[in-house]
Homo-oligomer: A and B are copies of this chain.
Amino acid sequence: MASAPEVHVVIVGGGFGGLTLARSLRRAPVRATLVDRSNHHLFQPLLYQVATAGLSPGDIALPIRSVLRDHPRTTVLLGEVTTIDVRARRVTLADGASLSYDFLVVAAGARTHYFGHDDWAQDALGLKDVDDALAIRDRVLCAFEAAEREDDPVERQRLLTFVAIGGGPTGVEMAGAFGELSRYVLARDFRRIRAGDTRVILLEGGPRILGAFDPELSARGAAQLAELGVEVRTGTRVLGVDAQGVQLASGVLPAATVVWAAGIRASPLAAALGVPLDEGGRVLVEPDCSIPGHAEVFVIGDMARVGGIASTPLPGTAPVAMQQARYVTRQIERTLDGLDREPFEYADKGIMATIGRSRAIAHVGPFRMSGMTAWVAWLLIHIVFLIGFRNRFVVMFEWFWSYVTYKRGARLITGARPHPPR
């Protein structure tokens, strides 16, 4: 254990990859420093619930320091890594401080990406962090408030129209949650808004939503969205987004709230490594998740492209990042023990997408599930197995409680973040 106390591992990012790595390094003969731009780990699979006022930010975030409290050889730094010098084995933070490392693991995740249309960002809101989620929440709640007072029926309909762009899991979750919020929650609070007044539209450019699932499950997902009143429009290309709504080939779709779930790109830190990237900005890593020419530098999670440019990318999910984190820990240990590395192999545990509070689809091994069964599976897996925090029970209970009660306190418009309906 104390054989090589000076080996220093720097971890960039406190998401599922970085945090799992820090925890799994606990028994390795190293000291570690985890650097993140924010002070909290975010349980991203439930972020859409914050955006749709079902949970509070505090329900799905934990201070990274607090999670790593009992890891005395791990230091947590709040800071943004700006440059990486792989030759000098040194990273530099935005405030000028620098850290040298023996091993570096970059796990900084992905950002919302508008494919060259960054001017859409203020109207088509992305969903990657707490601030994004609060911006969406404020816009939705303010749109309802404005609609309650609006006399012009055309403007009123625009205010009550919610569009999610992108038919992947995030777009589906958002559309489903909008549907529930509009129909079952908010409509009851207002005097002049009826459940049928709201419109929720999911736009997808391809031929079907949830393209990562097989066609049958994908169709079942679409059917469950329809039960929630969501209009699914496939084969629909978005030509533009502005304050009035979404421009389609068929004309303008007026909408006050538009969410962008159509694209992400790896963190710009990938480019700082000076190695080849794929079209999504991901690092083309070696079979052991290291970068070409530097076996001491690893990239994992949403930033890594395993298997080369010709392979199918692994899904950008927590299980992939967590498996890679535990794998990298083993490889660091093997390297310190003078052993060769093994290649990373992803153990596919299945994929699932949730559509509201009792609907989901899941494909796990040979099993295909949909509806309530899939939703319960989703809930159990997300709440029980993914957490892995110290006082798991407390966190699990808090989330569960907030989730089943659809806590009303989350429907909060706060003044410092004015997001008037557009």
Contacts and interface: CB of A to CB of B under 8 A. Distances in A.
Contact of A416 (B75, B134, B189, B395): B134
A65 to B, nearest CB: 4
A414 to B, nearest CB: 5
A410 B38 contact: no
A392 interface: no
A69 B56 CA distance: 21
Nearest to A192: B75
A416 B131 contact: yes
A273 interface: no
A58 interface: yes
Contact of A408 (B62, B148, B191, B402): B62
Nearest to A130: B414
A97 interface: yes
Interface string A166-209: 00000000000000000000001111000000000000000000
A141 interface: yes
A415 B145 contact: no
Residue with the greatest number of chain B CB neighbours at <10 A, chosen from A69, A134, A412: A412
A39 B412 contact: yes
A226 interface: no
A377 to B, nearest CB: 25
Contacts of A117: none
B189 A414 contact: no
Given A69-B189, A417-B416, A405 B411 contact: no
Contact of A69 (B38, B60, B134, B188): B188
A60 B410 CA distance: 10
B57 A412 contact: yes
Contacts of A411: 39-40, 63, 66
A77 interface: yes
Contact of A58 (B56, B62, B190, B417): B56
B63 A412 contact: yes
A369 interface: no
A407 interface: yes
A353 B414 CA distance: 27
Given A78-B145, A191-B75, A61 B131 contact: no
Nearest to A67: B408
A413 B40 contact: yes
A141 B76 CA distance: 14
Residue with the greatest number of chain B CB neighbours at <10 A, chosen from A37, A55, A56: A56
A409 B62 contact: yes
Nearest to A70: B188
Contact of A412 (B40, B69, B395, B415): B40
Contact of A56 (B59, B395, B413): B59
A27 interface: no
A138 to B, nearest CB: 10
A226 B145 CA distance: 47
Interface string A386-422: 0000000011011001100101111111111100000
A156 to B, nearest CB: 16
Contact of A97 (B63, B149, B417): B149
A94 to B, nearest CB: 13
A296 interface: no
Given A56-B59, A401-B401, A145 B39 contact: yes
B63 A189 contact: yes
A129 interface: yes
6 contacts: A57-B412, A58-B412, A62-B409, A77-B148, A130-B414, A398-B402
The 5 closest A-B pairs by CB, nearest first: A56-B58, A58-B409, A65-B189, A131-B416, A78-B145
